[in-house]
Amino acid sequence: MAMGNLSTDYQEQNQQTDIGASIRNGREIFLQAFNWESHKHDWWKNLESKVPDIAKSGFTSAWLPPSTHSFAPEGYLPQNIYSLNSKYGSEHQLKGLLQKMKQCKVRPMADIVINHRVGTTQGNGGMYNRYDGIPLSWDEHAVTSCTGGLGNRSTGDNFNGVPNIDHSQPFVRKDITTWLQWLRNTVGFQDFRFDFARGYAAKYVKEYIEGAKPIFSVGEYWDSCNYNDHGLDYNQDSHRQQIISWIDGTGQLSTAFDFTTKGILQEAVKGQLWRLRDPQGKPPGVMGWWPSRSVTFLDNHDTGSTQAHWPFPSNHIMEGYAYILTHPGIPSVFYDHFYDSGDSIHDQIVKLIHIRRQKEIHSRSSVRILEAQPNLYSAIIGEKVCMKIGDGSWCPDVREWKLATSGHRYAVWHK
């Protein structure tokens, strides 16, 4: 055992200094530890009580909501980004939570909202585009010209109704990098999730990752999938290519949420499982092309929760998790599914995570798709795990495979 401990310590030391270590390792499984209503529920205290369960369930990292002062209670309209008092709780409660996560070896992931920032005072043109009276007291030159500032045009899409930050300004990038280093080294966040990554060039994300050295990073590059009159297009290559180009732009240092897989999977489980094999015989999302950079998920605080912009069908959740938790990519689980959908779902998800870890399925594991019919999908992953989802009955050679777990419309076997 001593040898095992030694290598874990060595790995941890290594991960602290080597930005690419966790991506190469490919063993991450994370929990999105909040939803759109969490700010109403004394959140840091609530989460602190759940940390032991999060650790025991096998999650390596938990994504926390934006922890700094915000104009809106959910945290996505930041203003004084050096204040750690938010609607989720006080700085003291946050520190308690982070301490507990450190003890239990679950890495805290910070939600990095740096596309836009709410001003404190009116400047050029009578807009609230200055930041007087708070740390990082920028003037109008920090705001893009397209959103009422005196900076350059945006390097991405606009987030409307609020000043967008001009990342092309060296003083802005220097200040943001220093702030990210503070979150990483002083506050104690270890991983980063970049909000609204469409809003500014990926090369800046690369610079921020190099500057602050998070252990793991993921970007939210969310654009609509391709639809036609009859519903979702079978071919989503242009959609996944956009996400892949963004990852490339970060110098491959960041992963990205696999919105392509989400969009396809939530249609596939409704009796269209043929969608889960692309024309090349591979998985059809980012996972099929660049699995080590694909973070798979079923829902988040925007697509699901009370906003429900693009929800995964709730009666098919376990089929969804049976797919992403057995497949390559980096799977993540949504709080509402894990903690608010009943003990049975919680325990079934834990079982799938344990099989993934026990059989050493990782982000780059191979996939052999055996069946992709309307009501049946089956595949062998890493030559160690075999699974099926859908109503269709199917089972592998019983001399070779042993049932590991099963539930409504899904089953998993191992060797």
Task: Classify 78 as helix, strand or coil.
Answer: strand
| 188 contact partners, CB below 8 Å, separation of at least 6 | 95, 98, 102, 108
Q: Where are the beta strands (DSSP E) in 131-271?
A: 191-194, 216-219, 227-228, 231-232, 255-257
The C-alpha R_g of the chain, in whole angstroms, comes to: 22
Measure the CA–CA gap between 200 and 381, rounded to whole angstroms. Answer: 36
Q: Which residue has the tokens 């639809």?
A: 227
Angle between helices 343-358 and 317-324 (to 10 degrees): 10
175 is catalytic: no
Distance (Å, whole) CA 391 – CA 269: 10
CA dist 385 and 147 (Å) reads 51
Q: Residue by residue, what is the 3-state secondary structure of 336-384?
A: HHHHCCCHHHHHHHHHHHHHHHHCCCCCCCCEEEEEEECCEEEEEECCC
For this structure, is 391 an active site residue?
Answer: no
Give me the catalytic one of 48, 140, 195, 207: 195
Q: How far apart are the first and last CA of the chain?
A: 25
Q: DSSP letters along 95-146, please?
A: HHHHHHHHHTT-EEEEEE--SB---SB--GGG-S-B-TTSSS---GGGB-GG
Residues paired with 386 in a beta bridge:
380, 413
CA proximity to 143, closest of 134, 132, 153, 157: 153
Q: Cβ distance 331 to 324 under 8 Å?
A: yes
Is 331 in a helix, a strand, or coil?
A: strand
Q: Which of 28, 48, 74, 220 is catalytic?
A: 220
Read off the DSSP letter of residue 277.
S
Residue with tokens 């945290």: 75
Query: Tokens 């469409």 label which residue?
Result: 198
DSSP code at position 164: B
Residues annotated as part of the active site: 195, 220
